[in-house]
Chain A
Amino acid sequence: QQPVQSPQAVILREGEDAVINCSSSKALYSVHWYRQKHGEAPVFLMILLKGGEQKGHEKISASFNEKKQQSSLYLTASQLSYSGTYFCGTYDRNSGNTPLVFGKGTRLSVIA
């Protein structure tokens, strides 16, 4: 089951903050976050494995709420280089051998 990301798109001015959410209807084992620049390959940001776990990458961090079956990605003091499409990928607890399922992405545009 594909996770649902929100918002679909967001425009920020440099220095502003943003939150991107990733929700699933299934109990999750882990959540992956990736960023893709236009026409390029997705680049790994972080993996969250445990409920409540928070991880950071530069000024980008994320949390994982197992109870709510969701993860949030926090972008602080955004820079122009943060522009791109952010994808979450999820493994649900009962998925057996099936691989990661990606959401449709959130397009982030940072303007000067």
Chain B
Amino acid sequence: DGGITQSPKYLFRKEGQNVTLSCEQNLNHDAMYWYRQDPGQGLRLIYYSQIVNDFQKGDIAEGYSVSREKKESFPLTVTSAQKNPTAFYLCASSPRTVRNNQPQHFGDGTRLSIL
């Protein structure tokens, strides 16, 4: 079955620590996205990638970093510079980004909390 796998489901971060959230897809999609979700805020875009070895900042990229070394994988690192990281993080993919007639497929999310 094709889909998006996010891990871990729950993650705890200590002060000053960087943590990495995994996102893997086997849908052969070119585009991948990271969203942050806080209560009442909807889905806010952190980073997106349209092709391997290329990615762009979204609306709230500060304190986050990404890489796209393989088409299937788009890990997100929450750095110590992100002072309020507690949120639900969703990874998504789609065949492409621009004027896309195809839906985005979402992973089951990672819930990150501060210790």
Interface residue B64 (Cβ < 8 Å from any Cβ of A): no
Question: Is there an interface contact between A105 and B42, defined as CB atoms closer than 8 Å?
Answer: yes
Complex contact B90–A42 (CB within 8 A): yes
Q: Count the B residues whose beta carbon is within 8 Å of the partner chain — how many?
A: 26
Contact B40 A32 (CB under 8 A): no
Whether A91 contacts B100 in the complex (CB less than 8 A), given A41-B90, A42-B43, A97-B50, comes out as yes
| Interface residue tally on A, bucketed by range | 20 to 34
Which one of B68-76, B78-86, B105-113 contacts A? B105-113
A41–B107 CA distance with the chains assembled, in angstroms: 6
5 contacts between A and B (CB under 8 A): A34-B103, A42-B90, A100-B100, A104-B40, A105-B42
| Chain B residues proximal to chain A, CB less than 8 Å | 31, 33, 35, 40-45, 48, 50, 88, 90, 97-109
